[in-house]
Homo-oligomer: A and B are copies of this chain.
Amino acid sequence: MAEKITPRATDYSQWYIDIVINAKLADYAPVKGCMVIRPRGYALWERIQQGLDGLFKETGHVNAYFPLLIPESFIKKEAEHVEGFSPELAVVTHAGGEKLEEPLVVRPTSETIIWAMYKKWIQSYRDLPLLINQWCNVLRWEKRTRLFLRTAEFLWQEGHTAHATAAEAEEETLRMMGVYKTFAEQYMAVPVLHGVKTDSEKFAGAVRTYCIEAMMQDRKSLQAGTSHNLGQNFAKAFDVTYQTNDKKLDYVWATSWGASTRLIGALIMAHSDDKGLVLPPRLAPTQVVIVPIFKNETREAVLKFARGLRDALAPSLRVVLDEDDQATPGWKFSEYELQGIPIRVEVGPRDMEKGQVVAVRRDTGEKVFLPVAEAPQRLPSMLEAIQKSLFDRALKFRKENTFRTNDYAQFTKLLDEPGGFIEAGWCGDAACEARVKEETKATIRLIPLEPQDTEGAPCMVCGKKASVIAVFGRAY
């Protein structure tokens, strides 16, 4: 119930955990750092999968499945890759009652096993591009974990594509960043910045990492999807060459891109409030809940009316009618607010007489009286309005909490109060970036792709000429 949720103003972190636990989205597993995704959380993941998978297929990708276990020697073949992932690996040393000759790593990501297979499958330019995605679980032994946001095991999708030219690989990398942006903004109603990571923040083994970053309600940034141009690094590590159109041999060009159950954390932190979850209608497993209000003598008539409404809505909406007569309507109202169902429809004897229903928006609390015959037309528009309004509100919040300065003292002040995204000049030197991180815990979230005017702007750290305007922020 709502009273169990710590208000955001009191303790934002606790508020988040309270929502995850009380709305029964996830629970702590007996294994350290692992989570159980409960049915309500998984229903969200199913809708996220469905949305993303549709976008992947529209852009020509197909799904496949590669093994969970990767020979340890594979992980070591790409120098930066092994360095990046070694500290987080879980290792199978025994199987079938015997010690294995070579330890097997539980995949933290699948570049190495996939490129070992691509070596078998790619011979000629005719085999390219190869556009494969996989939905699976991965494991990264993290020290500090938080439900959905950072867990030892998580679910994700990882796309792995192979191309004949550097230009095609770059085009694919950018295309998939765009797909993630579309998904975040149009499905999740979460506005995102897109851009490129600095070298110190890029994927271990990538030439270049693009990302989308969203601002949460505590003004911290959350990386919601990454798309990597891997150049020929993995092709060289696994010796994957192809015969070009003009009979030469060249290494294949690669990309990879992923998004995970972390998106559920982003959804929660972008929209929810002190009463519980707030879900964008496009991803809400249930969009409308009908709560009938009756006494014993009106029970049958009201239920009949409510069932008629449900049947009228069912073809176009995901609707549930709560016929339970143990719980009170008031209890149900709080419960469905906690669960984040976008619209609650109340129907009582008086509404019935007037041929109307009351629709209550979860996001604003606004009550609207609707003639029952108009509900099948008007509720879908109301859902669209909620979807748009959540996006607009989040965008407004981000804009209000995005600042620009080239003054390091002001930068640290802004970071602490109010917090947010801070655009600031940066010379491009990793030392300046590292100093900011060490002193303020803020990192460069991304460098925007749009042409920038750096004329006259200094690096906010060293004062030398800025080569870019970077977006800094503290992040999840």
Contact = CB atoms under 8 A, between A and B. Distances in A.
Interface residues of A, number: 54
A92 B91 contact: yes
Given A92-B90, A95-B141, A137-B136, A69 B31 contact: yes
Contacts of A120: 27
A31 B64 contact: no
Interface of A: 27, 29-31, 34-39, 41-43, 45-46, 62-71, 74, 86-97, 103-104, 106, 113, 116-117, 120-121, 132, 136-137, 139, 141, 143, 153, 155
12 contacts: A31-B67, A31-B71, A39-B62, A41-B64, A42-B62, A46-B63, A68-B139, A89-B95, A90-B92, A91-B92, A92-B92, A96-B143
B65 A155 contact: yes
Contact of A91 (B42, B65, B94): B94
A94 B37 CA distance: 25
A167 B195 CA distance: 59
A43 B62 contact: yes
A141 B96 contact: yes
Contacts of A95: 89-91, 141
A45 B136 CA distance: 14
Given A91-B94, A97-B86, A136-B137, A117 B36 contact: yes
A418 to B, nearest CB: 36
A27 B116 CA distance: 12
Query: Quick one: which of A63, A91, A121 has the most chain B CB within 10 A?
Result: A91
Contacts of A31: 67, 69-71, 104
Contacts of A42: 62-65
Nearest to A106: B92
A97 B117 CA distance: 27
Nearest to A97: B87
Query: How many copies of this chain are found per oligomer?
Result: 2
A35 B143 CA distance: 32
A136 B103 CA distance: 23
Nearest to A88: B96
Given A92-B91, A97-B87, A66 B137 contact: no
A63 B40 CA distance: 9
A91 B4 CA distance: 39
Q: 3 shortest A-B CB distances, which residue pairs? A: A96-B141, A90-B95, A39-B62
A87 B96 contact: yes
Nearest to A103: B94
A69 B34 contact: yes
A29 B70 CA distance: 10
A325 to B, nearest CB: 14
Nearest to A154: B65
Given A71-B30, A153-B67, A90 B94 contact: yes
Nearest to A134: B42
A126 B56 CA distance: 41
Contact of A68 (B94, B97, B137): B137
Contacts of A113: 29-30
A90 B97 CA distance: 8
A106 B69 CA distance: 10
B67 A34 contact: yes
Contact of A66 (B29, B68, B71): B29
Given A86-B97, A93-B94, A69 B117 contact: no
